[in-house]
Each structure stands twice: as C-alpha cells, then as structure tokens.
Structure 1
C-alpha cells in the first residue's frame, strides 16, 4: 500500500471536519474530479511497513487488493499499525518527531527536501489531529448519550488516520518542486486542498 493510498483512506476522516476559508475561486462543497495525489506530487513510494500492515489489517494475501474501500474503523487500525510499527507514535496521541525525521532521513538520504517537507507536515499535523480527535470523541459521546444504548466501540483510535490524512494533505500542499507535476488537474486539486482548509 503506497502513501497515496493511505492518504486517500485517511482523507475520509479528515474531510469530515474540514474548514472552509471562503475563497471564491473554489467551491469547497463541490470538490474537483478525484486525482491520485501521487500523480501530482511524488510521494515516498511503497513502504514495507505499510504493506505488512495492509496484509495484517485488510487480510489481503498474496498482493490481492481487498474488495471495496475499508471501513473507517479498518482505516483507523491500518493507520495505527503503520505509525506504531514505524515507531512514529509511541504513546496515544503523541508523535515522536525525532524518530520520524531519523527514519525518513535513512530511507531518503538523497532527498533532504522530501524529508524536511514530510517532517514539517507531521509536526504541523500533530496538534491539529489532537483537536480533531477530541471533537470526534465528543461527538461520539453525545451520540451515545442521545441513543442511550451501547454502541460497539471502535477497535482503534482514529488519531493515527487523522495524522496520516493531514500529513499527506499538508505535504501535497507544500510539495517540493522536484516532486510536483505541473498540469491543470494537479493545480486545481492543490487549490482545492489549500483553499478548503484540508490538512493542518
């Protein structure tokens, strides 16, 4: 599973709490045609940790793709597996930025601009993700009180999925020039993500 696929899965959670800045050139209620972010902004490519987590969480043996998109709970567990296995998160709702920078620097030793863009994105997204998680948990608590019945609790916290979704949106907005594909579709996608407040 590539970071761009994780981005698309994680975006489900991030989109549920997007803010609108009121720009007139982009209608935030009508997103442009979906474009694979990796076609516009080259990401880090396939990652062994993400692949192993996908096999464990999604149960997709022998490289087969699962049928249909995963549920929000499954996406949350996948993101949690990726961040904990990578040692990017070691305690609930807290990123280890030193480990993130070290891991990225090792994997991308020939691309310091990419390492810096991703590290900054993670750093900016941590507090934003903590706030979004608090809002989600508060909404869930209110729904539970209104229904006055026992709902099945999610297996995994959505924090990791929120962080990944935010991080890849933030990276997309600030993509290093040497990784960006300049065309109208990508420019429109970037304008939408930036003007509609997706990411940090």
Structure 2
C-alpha cells in the first residue's frame, strides 16, 4: 500500500526476529543489519495518496526531494496526511476499520491474503497506538504539529504485516528470516 521508504520513516528503528535463526540466539539489544522490509515481504506497492502526501509534507519547493530521512515532525505529519486522506482515520485517535477493509479489498481484489493480513494488523494496532499516544501525552503534554497517532498506527501495522507476511509475498533468505525472528522475538510492533 505504501512504499517501504515511507514505512522506514515511521519505524525509525532496525528490524528484529525469532529466537534461533541459523543456530544464533537473538539479542534484542543488538539488532541485525537493517534490511529493506519490502525486499523480504512485498507490500502493496506505490500508492497515490502516500506519494501526494509525501510531496506535500516532505517535498522541497523546487520539486526536489530531501535525500535524508524525514524529521520526526515530518514523519508524523506524513502519516497523518496518509490516514486522513485515505479516510482510514476519521477521528483523532480512531481508525475506520470498515473503510480500511473496503479500500484494501477494492485495490487488492485478487489478493485476499494481503487484505486479511493488513486488516488484521490495523485492527491489532489501533488500541496499541491509543495506549502509546496516551502515554506520550501524559509525559509530554506539549502538542506537536501533528498527532503521532497515525505514525504509531502505521509503524505498528507494517511491523505486524511483516511478522505475519503472507507466504506468496515472503522472500526466503537468511537475512529476511533473521529480521523476522528479531521483530517477532523482541516484541516490535503490537
């Protein structure tokens, strides 16, 4: 649905996976080498809404794109733009899961496994994002430019999707298995 570059902007952390991969224990304090999640688990590909929001939020005036990672403010505003424009988020801290399922079902009518995996990930991540947002607001009452709720939801959703990647979208490789093991064992995502 959104490109892996957008996913990485929301996560801003390395990946983690399952306890024993290639006979190695996973140390959650030492993540493995960063791997592009889209190389291991194909996502939905480019999305016009995400591209338009990226241009609007992160783009520079002369049509050139920033080459470095976006700031936390830019990443949260990008996530908010994506979920609001797609009508996935209609309340400040609530997702419209019916709209999400319908939209994904329409866009990926021939890939029900992808639709189910993404819908399940959004469903699991909504309450987690609400709890994390409440904790953030409790310790930092200053209102940021854009609420971090959407960024928390998207980061969690893509982690959950990665952990539960449909078989036909998964790439079998040692580095992908290590990444999945780290994410799963170390509790990243919801």
Equivalent residues of 1:6, 1:164 under 8 A apart:
no
2: distance between equivalents of 1:171 and 1:140? Answer: 29
Q: What's the counterpart of residue 128 of structure 1?
A: 128
2: distance between equivalents of 1:101 and 1:43? Answer: 16
Which of 144, 150, 166 is the matching residue for 1:176?
Answer: 166
Structure 1 position 2, deviation (Å):
3.9
Superposition TM-score, scaled by structure 2 size: 0.90
- Provide the secondary structure at the position in 2 that maps to 1:90: strand
**More helix per residue:** 1
The 5 Å alignment of 1:15-164 reads 25-60=25-60, 64-141=64-141, 153-164=143-154
Superposition TM-score, scaled by structure 1 size: 0.86
CA 1:61–1:44: 2 relative to 1, 3 Å: farther
2: distance between equivalents of 1:63 and 1:174? Answer: 37
Q: What's the counterpart of residue 189 of structure 1?
A: 179
Q: Unmatched 5+ residue regions in structure 2?
A: 14-18
1: distance between equivalents of 2:137 and 2:71? Answer: 18
Q: Unmatched 5+ residue regions in structure 1?
A: 16-21, 142-150
- Provide the secondary structure at the position in 1 that maps to 2:43: coil
- Provide the secondary structure at the position in 2 that maps to 1:117: helix
Instruction: Output one character per residue of 1:74-118: Cα deviation in whole Å (capped at 9) or x when no partner.
Output: 100000000000000001110000000000011101100000000
- Provide the secondary structure at the position in 2 that maps to 1:100: helix
Equivalent residues of 2:7, 2:155 under 8 A apart:
yes
2: distance between equivalents of 1:29 and 1:64? Answer: 37
2: distance between equivalents of 1:188 and 1:77? Answer: 31
Farther off after superposition, 36-45 or 66-75? 66-75
2: distance between equivalents of 1:61 and 1:45? Answer: 26
Task: Give me the CA root mean square deviation.
Answer: 2.1
CA 1:87–1:62: 2 relative to 1, 3 Å: farther
- Provide the secondary structure at the position in 1 that maps to 2:90: strand
Structure 1 position 61, deviation (Å):
6.4
